[in-house]
Chain A
């Protein structure tokens, strides 16, 4: 009897470990998603700032639609995560290009990272402060005396600059550290919460308003848009390794091709937002379908219509970003940077080549007649 129980427990233990190992081996094959069978293509890796989501729709669309392949590139998209700094991955040589916000990178550049903004994909800022209509916060000046949410980690500069411009000191508000979700705002802990137009703002609109029993409506909210307040900073840009751009002609050539195909992907996302959202969802994003489509549409609004061709770094916007980064102190008195970034911090050389080729092919890189679609959000974003 004793032996039989021992046998059973032994088998049980084996079964558990076999299960465990099976779970693991199925995971092993899950990691890489490149088919690098074709030896002719140049392998290129792109490091994103966050998980797969429609914020990066253009790159996923370019991959899915074969635009990268047409340029002879075999692109691998590396997702970001909580502790992954895209610029560190780029300078560490583990990615060829990276997507990151300009102010976040300016600090790295001052600390010695040799990287160049080669294409400014987002022309407008998606950062806002959202508040309930009854709080009556419509401009930065109204933030005085309120509890104001921010994620920190470099997401706070437009807010602080906007407040500075309106004469609201940091002591005049109570700064609340905000989480991933909007629960702090919905619970009333935060009067004016930080929200990206393409993500957190939608999260509010996907939630039930206890007062009405229905989803929150845009007319129940006030939004401070930093583009209108004049303290917008440049966000998603394609960054390349400055040293490799200077020394390696092939890399510089690849950069042009990469920008060209990426812009084509963004043009696809503009003309086919539904398909682009589906492509992103099928790449493994867990966001709900209506949320994904909302994000695609809102991101399109940050890009289109473009002032001087998608990806072009407009000098006035760059200067505004640098100026805010130098002159706006945070709650500890620190600024993003203390002096002007080097001339290598951005270059229009590559994007101009890419735009010229795209225009030749008849791709609309301005989107003058772009009109956003109407997206209906469902509860929970589903």
Chain B
């Protein structure tokens, strides 16, 4: 990133850097596509040369079977995407059903992510402001992540169903979003706390010596400084929100999303093995869109990304 603020760049002639940058982008895409192709090639290669009964050591299968039942051909999976979901009146192409379910899951995950980020940021600010809050809250934040999801999912649904204010009624998708946010807030609160505490003492003291108040220090110094810590945390939170949404959908049976589709198609795994992979592709697509969104966020915040540190 250029360290200089935007004012000076406008007058400059086109930078020679631009050309290699364009190449770098092409290269990155090529590497990405290459990675997928490599995975496909590995899959098909193992399927072609691997033993039909898999590799078994003692009673333990360490490499899977290569039958069409266990490992359908990649092209079968893709062809199946363009087939129909069934033969009846409600049948639609599988890809369109998967797309619809993915959009639904993405939406719920996005709500869960936003709630998780807001809660995580608030907790981080609170812990940064009050040392006692940090020692009181931090252990609970860590403990919260040790509670298994399958234990809290039905509870959240039941508590939610008892909520009712006026015209507002709690919907099941909100329970799923809450569970997603429960997983998403954790990395944000930890990452943001580290980020808020990251400015050098010398900078903090400078602000203090100018008599700048805590709020202004937060917005002008601590928050900008926290960005390099925050972005990886937001990325983790996005991944957690997607996983949380899919698992919670399975857990409480929310209709419409990828999670439930995985279970429903899994019931046909014996007779239609390629179909079970369709919702898995959908889940991957949701994850990619979520990751892409965070990448965009990173571009928007690039002014503050000096020396990004992995979370």
Q: Tell which of B105, B251, B271, B289 touches A16, judged by Cβ atoms closer than 8 Å.
A: B289
Interface residue B256 (Cβ < 8 Å from any Cβ of A):
yes
Interface residue B51 (Cβ < 8 Å from any Cβ of A):
no
Interface residue A19 (Cβ < 8 Å from any Cβ of B):
yes
A182-213 interface code vs B (CB 8 A; 1 in, 0 out): 11001100000000000100011011101000
Residue in A closest to B153 when the chains form the complex, CB atoms: A83
Interface residues of A in 366-382 (CB under 8 A from B): 378-382
Interface residue A289 (Cβ < 8 Å from any Cβ of B):
yes
Interface residue B260 (Cβ < 8 Å from any Cβ of A):
yes
Interface residue A17 (Cβ < 8 Å from any Cβ of B):
yes
Most buried by A among B105, B270, B275: B270
A residues less than 8 Å from B171 (CB atoms) = 28, 31-32
B272 touches A286 (CB 8 A): no
Q: How many residues belonging to B are interface residues under a CB distance threshold of 8 Å?
A: 64
Interface residue B132 (Cβ < 8 Å from any Cβ of A):
no
Interface residue B266 (Cβ < 8 Å from any Cβ of A):
yes
10 A-B residue pairs with CB within 8 Å: A13-B293, A22-B107, A24-B110, A30-B256, A51-B260, A81-B251, A81-B254, A82-B251, A282-B90, A382-B86
Q: How far is the CA of A341 from the CA of B58 in the complex (A)?
A: 45
Interface residues of B in 286-301 (CB under 8 A from A): 289, 292-293, 296-297, 299-300
Interface residues of B in 88-138 (CB under 8 A from A): 88-90, 103-111
B residues less than 8 Å from A30 (CB atoms) = 104, 173, 255-256
Q: How far is the CA of A284 from the CA of B256 in the complex (A)?
A: 9
B107 touches A281 (CB 8 A): no
Knowing that A30-B104, A183-B269, A290-B87 touch, tell me 8 more A-B residue pairs with CB under 8 angstroms: A13-B300, A26-B103, A84-B154, A181-B269, A187-B70, A203-B267, A286-B85, A382-B87
Closest-CB distance, B202 to chain A (whole angstroms): 31
B263 touches A207 (CB 8 A): no
Most buried by B among A79, A81, A381: A81
| 6 interchain residue pairs of minimum CB distance | A81-B253, A24-B107, A23-B107, A380-B272, A206-B271, A20-B110
Q: Tell which of A19, A32, A204, A379 touches B272, judged by Cβ atoms closer than 8 Å.
A: A379
Q: How far is the CA of A186 from the CA of B109 in the complex (A)?
A: 36
Interface residue A180 (Cβ < 8 Å from any Cβ of B):
yes
Closest-CB distance, B108 to chain A (whole angstroms): 6
A83 touches B270 (CB 8 A): no
Closest-CB distance, A275 to chain B (whole angstroms): 13
A residues touching B (Cβ–Cβ < 8 Å)?
Answer: 1-3, 6, 9-10, 12-13, 16-17, 19-28, 30-32, 51, 79-85, 88-89, 92, 94, 179-183, 186-187, 199, 203-204, 206-208, 210, 278, 281-282, 284, 286-291, 378-382
Q: How far is the CA of A83 from the CA of B154 in the complex (A)?
A: 7
A281 touches B87 (CB 8 A): no
Closest-CB distance, B275 to chain A (whole angstroms): 7
CB-CB under 8 A for A281 and B90, given A12-B296, A380-B272:
yes
B266 touches A181 (CB 8 A): yes
B275 touches A81 (CB 8 A): no
B70 touches A84 (CB 8 A): no
B residues less than 8 Å from A20 (CB atoms) = 106-107, 109-110, 293
Q: Tell which of A17, A180, A187 touches B293, judged by Cβ atoms closer than 8 Å.
A: A17
CB-CB under 8 A for A289 and B86, given A79-B255, A89-B158:
yes
Q: How far is the CA of A366 from the CA of B103 in the complex (A)?
A: 48
CB-CB under 8 A for A27 and B173, given A21-B107, A82-B263:
yes
Interface residue B67 (Cβ < 8 Å from any Cβ of A):
yes
A286 touches B251 (CB 8 A): no
Most buried by A among B158, B256, B266, B269: B269
A residues less than 8 Å from B194 (CB atoms) = none
Interface residue B10 (Cβ < 8 Å from any Cβ of A):
yes
Interface residue B264 (Cβ < 8 Å from any Cβ of A):
yes
B268 touches A13 (CB 8 A): no
Q: How far is the CA of A290 from the CA of B86 in the complex (A)?
A: 9
Interface residue B172 (Cβ < 8 Å from any Cβ of A):
yes
A residues less than 8 Å from B233 (CB atoms) = none
A380 touches B271 (CB 8 A): yes
Interface residue B69 (Cβ < 8 Å from any Cβ of A):
yes
A181 touches B270 (CB 8 A): yes
Q: How far is the CA of A205 from the CA of B257 in the complex (A)?
A: 29
A residues less than 8 Å from B265 (CB atoms) = 286
Residue in A closest to B18 when the chains form the complex, CB atoms: A1
B104 touches A183 (CB 8 A): no
Q: How far is the CA of A263 from the CA of B268 in the complex (A)?
A: 30
Closest-CB distance, B270 to chain A (whole angstroms): 4
Residue in A closest to B113 when the chains form the complex, CB atoms: A20
CB-CB under 8 A for A31 and B104, given A181-B267, A187-B65, A286-B264:
no
Closest-CB distance, A251 to chain B (whole angstroms): 19
A206 touches B270 (CB 8 A): yes
Q: How far is the CA of A74 from the CA of B89 in the complex (A)?
A: 28
A289 touches B108 (CB 8 A): no
A81 touches B250 (CB 8 A): yes
Interface residue B6 (Cβ < 8 Å from any Cβ of A):
yes
Residue in B closest to A95 when the chains form the complex, CB atoms: B161
B253 touches A84 (CB 8 A): yes
